[in-house]
A and B are shown apart, each in its own frame.
Chain A
Amino acid sequence: MGRDNLGFLEEAVMLVVIALGDAAYGVRIREELSRRTGKDYSLGATYTTLDRLHDKEFLTSWVGDPSPERGGRAKRFFKLTDRGRKLLDERIKARQDLTQGISLGPILTLGRA
């Protein structure tokens, strides 16, 4: 996959990171991602996607303070970079443009006919 392309999971993770705001770290991202997509993603899959987005410079991260419920270990928080945000906006706009003026009703009912 090219450096400026986004897969479904990557796009979903970016949206979740925006939704969580300042509380976007591994466990919370996985929970929110699983809740919003209705699919139980593992932490490993979430980290793989986060690492990939980080490598592509769509996400930036920083380490927070240690907390007792994590055995005194710190959290790594994520947020979108300007580049990531721009690309995500473009993707969302492209999808809106694509569906604009198309009546999806008959298409959705084709399977039932």
Chain B
Amino acid sequence: MRMQPFVYLEPKTLKEALIMLDQNKEKLKIISGGTELIPLLKLRLIKPQYIMSLKKLSKLKGIREQGSKIIIGASTTLAEIAESHVMNSLFKGIVDATKAVAAPQIQNIATIAGNLLQDSRCLYYNQSEMVRGGLEPCYKLNGHLCRAVKGGKRCFSVYQGDLAPILIAFNAKVKLEKKDGTKTVSVSELFSGNGKQPINIQEDELLTKIILPLPKKNTGSSYQKLRMRGSIDYPLASAASVFHSDKNGNIVDGCVVIGAAGPSPKIVPMASFGNKKELDNSFIDNVAQNAYKIAETVNNQALPGSYRRKVITVLVKRAINSSLRDMRGGN
């Protein structure tokens, strides 16, 4: 499959890049690693007039500690994150998630911002122009029907990023820059909840960095993923969790997030911990049931929605137990 022609822009500075974004807005798409963008271009799901490369913006690369935060540049590759000493020592769940993305060859070039800002997917949408051409367009293609849910009144496409759930669990933020201003928002605020346009980012904004607060002592994390093959696949369901205990070993804080269960990652409601050293099975079962209730899995992926929804409860339990082990230094 060949891509349609476009003009390639190669800004040398961030300022130049922001001006190009401001001038071209919806006519422009950004290429970072390209592993997410190129398939969309090949399938002609997007037809930008301009492609802007970030490869000359070296300031967008790398991981560094800044005060009480870890800053990850938007163009940092997933392999660089997986190999980073600081990430391995403080953010096990994020490293687990980066290693779970696609395959090692993809991790060598795919970037954290590209992974985070990927579009939602659906078996009926991510198809070639020829296949789509024979069908009436769905909501995602600006039509008026959903092929996955008969009579559905909205788009049920699924956000299948591996990193977003665990970044939300770690309370990560992102910096968005544009020609005349910058803002910092939490990763969860990046998501609209609308499958048709799942990412809340303006066409003239560039995500330049991911900001992670340094975790407190005694923090444990985990990322669990359902996939058909041991490699390559997008998540068909996922669960991320982060737990933290005080100096006495009492669990005081935690966050569980599920992914590939709707158009955005979802934070699972949890009851108060009540200063316990262990979470009993009924508490964990309750969190898993809450995840089941909020999961929106329909038949638009390689496995049935009902199965993926049940597996989410298993993934949530595994993520919690694995986080607690990591918290106690057991991994």
Do A and B belong to a common assembly?
A: no
